Every structure is written in structure tokens, then in C-alpha cells.
Amino acid sequence: MLRNVDFSRWHVDIDRYLNPLVPRPPWRWLPRPISHFLGYRGDKPPKNLGNLVLAFWSLIGVFCGVLVVAEGAAAVLEFGAIESPFAQPRNAVLSQVMASAIGIGIGRLFALNPHANALPQVGGALACAITTAVMVLTKTVHPPAGATALLSVTEGYEIGWFLILIMFLGCIMMQSVALVINNIQRRFPVYWWTPDPLPRPKVVVEDTESAREGKQESLASSASDDDTQAPVPARIVIQEGRVSIPDNVWLTAEEKEWLEKISQRIR
């Protein structure tokens, strides 16, 4: 019976409904010194760095991050794997807030049963499992959030709902440190909300040449209407010694290096 079921259609894409409501980041309108530390590079891709440099900045970042917020696992992601989707702001912040809320909620429900105190690990396992499922559905997977959900049940019961605010402020502080340190020689974040293109404001294109050419006036006007209504696709432009990558396109370091090698071969 299960052979006839197409499980590939059991899919919910939350970004399909949220992305049209999310505006594009306005970093390109800010002064360059400010937008630089928000991850905006314009048409200039970040330079490739050796692993010794990456290890140095990871050391500095994790040290400073753990001093500010005592979250070792999150610090390793935020400074040692900054290109990973798990380290991007959407995943890092929303996952921790949801994990703390789910953990405290499960802990409160288990507290209603006096016999549940004998098996606190059951509530912790349930909170971690529910948090993982929610993160998968909302595209906010962040491994340290699983530990947050578990500890919210086993250790955070006395703090209560105030733990949500603590986790939120901790995430903001960690992200602030990451924006400063990771943008000195690297780029962080790769994206703020999603690597997919966000909607752009509609641009009206006026075809001035169609007014001069009377024979092609109707064809030119119809073509301009089609260009106005059609969405502008994101393009990666490769020129001699230069690669232009849009902000809404996410590439790994290996892919960027591959594109730069192609640009160097153009003569």
C-alpha cells in the first residue's frame, strides 16, 4: 500500500508564504562602513582566505562570543562555520526563542503530574523532539537549540517564561559580536532571511526608441509591457578578473573560488 504513496509531495514550504511579505534588506542604501559590517558587499565578493586565517578569526570570535554569552556550541557555529545555513541570523535567533518556549511549555505541562518529576528526561526528550520538528518545518534548524529545549525542561523550570527573553537577548548579543568579528576579513551573514530572491519593487521601463520608429511602435510597446511585468532574474556576471554576485544569491567558498578562476581565464 505504501508503494503507491508519493511521499515527495508531503512537503510544506513556509517561505512560499512568508517571502512575499519580507522586504529586501536596505543595506545598499546605508553608508559603506555600516553596511560592510552587516554583510553587504555589493558587487565585490569576499576574498578567499587560508585555513590559518580562518582558524585565527574563529579563535578570536569564539573567545569573545563565549565571554559575552556562555553558549559554546552556538559560538562554534557563528565563528567557525559562518557560511553554514545553521549559523545565519534567522536560524540562530528564531530557533533559540522557539526552543526555550517549547521547553518551558513542556516543563509546565509535566509539572502538573506529580509522578512526572521522577522522569525529567522524558519531558526533555519530548521538548527536544518537538523543537527539532518545528525547526525543520520553519527552516530554522540550529543544532544548539536542541540543547536549549532539553535544558529548559530539566534545568530551566525555576526561571520560567523569563528564559525566553534571556535566550533572545543572548542571541542578539552573540549576533552583534559575530557581525563585528566575522566582517573584518570575511563576510557574515551570507543572508539574513533566506538565500532565495526576495521580491523587488516594480520598475517601469519606458521605451523611447519605439516613439521614433513608427513601424515597430506596437511591437516595442508590447515588448516593454512584458519586460515590466516579468520578474527580473538574479544574474551572476563573470568578467575579466571580476565576478559580480547579487546579494540574494548564496554561494559557498568553493563555488566562489571556482567562479574567480573562470574570470581569470577570460582575456
The burial class, CB within 10 Å (0-12 / 13-18 / 19+), for 92 is buried
Residues 78 and 111 in one domain: yes
Q: Residue 204: pLDDT above 50? A: no
If one compares 167 and 230, the residue with the highest pLDDT of the two is 167
Q: What is the pLDDT of residue 4?
A: 78
Task: Detail the DSSP E strand segments found in the chain.
Answer: 237-239, 242-244
> For the chain, first and last CA: distance in Å?
60
Average pLDDT, the chain: 83
Residue range 2-12, pLDDT digits in tens: 777 878 888 88
Q: Verify that 208 and 113 share a domain, yes or no.
A: no
Residues 41 and 88 in one domain: yes
86 in a domain, yes or no?
A: yes
| CB-based contact 248:191 (threshold 8 Å) | yes
DSSP bridge partners of 238: 243
The answer as to whether 194 is a domain residue is no
**φ, ψ at 40 (rounded to 5°):** -90, 130
Whether the pLDDT of residue 217 is over 60: the answer is no
pLDDT at 246: 76
The verdict on 121 and 221 lying in the same domain is no
Same domain, yes or no: 154 and 204: no
pLDDT score of 102 more than 90: yes
Q: Would the pLDDT of 230 be above 70?
A: no
The grid cell for 212 is: 521614433
Closest listed residue to residue 107, CA positions, set 144, 56, 161, 55: 161
Task: Write down the pTM of the prediction.
Answer: 0.72
Q: Residue 253 pLDDT > 80, yes or no?
A: no
Tell whether the torsion through CA atoms of 125, 129, 131 and 132 is positive or negative: positive
Q: Based on the structure, what is the number of domains in the chain?
A: 2
182 contacts 135 by C-beta, under 8 angstroms:
no
The confidence band for 71, taking pLDDT boundaries of 50, 70 and 90, is confident
Let me know whether 162 and 97 are in one domain: yes
For residues 49 and 147, membership in a common domain is answered with yes
Q: Does one domain contain both 64 and 130?
A: yes
Q: How confident is the model at residue 206 (pLDDT cuts 50, 70, 90)?
A: very low
Residue 191 lies in a domain: no
Is residue 216 in a domain?
A: yes
Q: Verify that 116 and 170 share a domain, yes or no.
A: yes
Inside any domain, residue 3:
no
- Give pLDDT, residue 53: 94
CB 148 within 8 A of CB 171: no
pLDDT band for position 233 (cuts 50, 70, 90): low
- 58 & 113 share domain: yes
Same domain membership, residue 159 and residue 85: yes
- pLDDT reported for residue 168: 96
Of the pLDDT bands very low, low, confident and very high (cuts 50, 70, 90), residue 221 is low
Quickly tell me which residue has 518551558 as its cell: 104
Per-residue cell: 166: 534571556
Cell numbers given for 54: 580562518
- How many Cα atoms are found within 13 Å in the side-chain-facing hemisphere of 40? 15
Is residue 215 over pLDDT 50?
Answer: no
Domain match, 51 and 141 both: yes
Closest CA to 53 of 185, 188, 190: 185
Q: Which domain holds residue 171?
A: 32-181
Q: Would you place residue 231 in the very low, low, confident or very high pLDDT band (cuts 50, 70, 90)?
A: low
CB neighbours of 195 closer than 8 A, spacing ≥ 6? 85, 248, 249, 250
Establish if 114 belongs to a structural domain: yes
Residue 200 has pLDDT above 90, yes or no: no
- Structural domain includes residue 253: no
Give 104-153 pLDDT, tens digit per residue: 999 889 888 877 666 778 889 999 999 999 999 999 999 999 999 999 99
Q: Distance between CA atoms of 127 and 122, rounded to whole angstroms?
A: 9
**In the predicted structure, residue 23 carries a pLDDT above the cut 50:** yes
Whether 256 maps to a domain, the answer reads no
Please report the pLDDT score of residue 247 as a whole number: 67
**Helix (H, G, I), strand (E, B), or coil: what is residue 240?**
coil
